[in-house]
């Protein structure tokens, strides 16, 4: 998506308790009154000025020149989440212009995961962090004890202030294997689903300590599904 595209990708999240809405449009992040996203109102007069705005793409970034409109939703290129009641994290995957490596376990340098943390009430930028990553299998999840960052086959567990606490590598014995990382709504539980054509091998971890709670295997489970502390809800027609 080029920066001048008249139809930018928009992700909106209604915040009933804060009475606000978070919007990501192109390379800008802004927060406005919840009245601005009322489906019955095409363009309310009080929505012309957001409460605050902040750029979330680094200067000189080339990602927009080759990104498709579907990338933000299908590949996890753009995301936003509350770290707590006071801070927001906005993250995006950008192209670096470098060539990727097919022989190194570490994520290639062709893509970069960039995360920015803001004060939710004012938009003040607190800090930013970058990781080399891949085009796919990149995600950020907020847990009860910190933040999970997946960059390809590497998963890092950070504190809320992004101090690295633990790192794990997701094995991939063959090309048909895939991994899905899920966080429950409370953030208390993290589940890894390592599946192939015949089986899913699950690993449940504590959202506060990242310690393994249990592991088991059964028939393959594929997206879409959601987890809680008591079960897994799935829309897979062949569970």
Predicted pLDDT of residue 48: 57
Segment-wise mean pLDDT, segments of 10 residues, the chain, 239 residues: 39 38 50 52 56 62 42 56 91 76 58 89 89 86 95 93 93 86 95 93 95 93 90 74
The residue written with tokens 């989440």 in the block is 81
The per-residue b/e assignment along 151-177, b for 16 or more CB within 10 angstroms, e otherwise, is bbbbbbbbeeebeeeeebebeeeeeee
Predicted pLDDT of residue 92: 87
Report pTM.
0.71
Predicted pLDDT of residue 184: 95
Predicted pLDDT of residue 16: 36
Predicted pLDDT of residue 149: 95
**CA–CA separation, 32 and 50 (whole Å):** 5
Q: Of 105, 2, 128, 152, whose CA–CA distance to 54 is shortest?
A: 128
Running DSSP on this structure, what letter comes out for residue 171?
Answer: -
Predicted pLDDT of residue 3: 41
Predicted pLDDT of residue 108: 54
**111 touches 132 (CB < 8 A):** yes
């Amino acid at each position: 998506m080029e920066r001048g595209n008249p139809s930018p990708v928009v992700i909106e999240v209604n915040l009933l308790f804060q009475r606000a809405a978070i919007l990501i449009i192109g390379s800008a992040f802004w927060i406005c009154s919840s009245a601005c996203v009322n489906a019955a109102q095409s363009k309310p007069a009080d929505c012309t000025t957001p409460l605050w705005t902040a750029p979330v793409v680094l200067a000189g970034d080339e990602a927009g020149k080759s990104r498709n409109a579907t990338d933000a939703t299908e590949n996890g290129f753009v995301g936003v989440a509350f770290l707590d009641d006071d801070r927001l994290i906005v993250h995006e995957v950008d192209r670096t212009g470098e060539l990727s490596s097919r022989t190194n376990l570490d994520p290639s340098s062709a893509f970069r995961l960039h995360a920015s943390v803001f004060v939710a009430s004012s938009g003040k930028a607190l800090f930013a962090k970058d990781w080399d990553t891949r085009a796919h299998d990149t995600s950020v999840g907020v847990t009860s004890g910190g933040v999970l960052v997946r960059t390809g086959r590497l998963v890092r567990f950070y504190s809320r202030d992004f101090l690295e606490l633990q790192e794990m590598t997701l094995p991939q014995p063959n090309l048909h294997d895939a991994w899905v990382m899920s966080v429950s709504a409370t953030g208390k539980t993290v589940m890894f689903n390592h599946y192939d054509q015949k089986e899913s091998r699950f690993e449940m971890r504590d959202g506060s300590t990242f310690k393994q709670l249990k592991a088991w295997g059964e028939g393959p489970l594929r997206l879409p599904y959601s987890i809680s502390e008591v079960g897994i809800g799935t829309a897979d027609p062949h569970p």
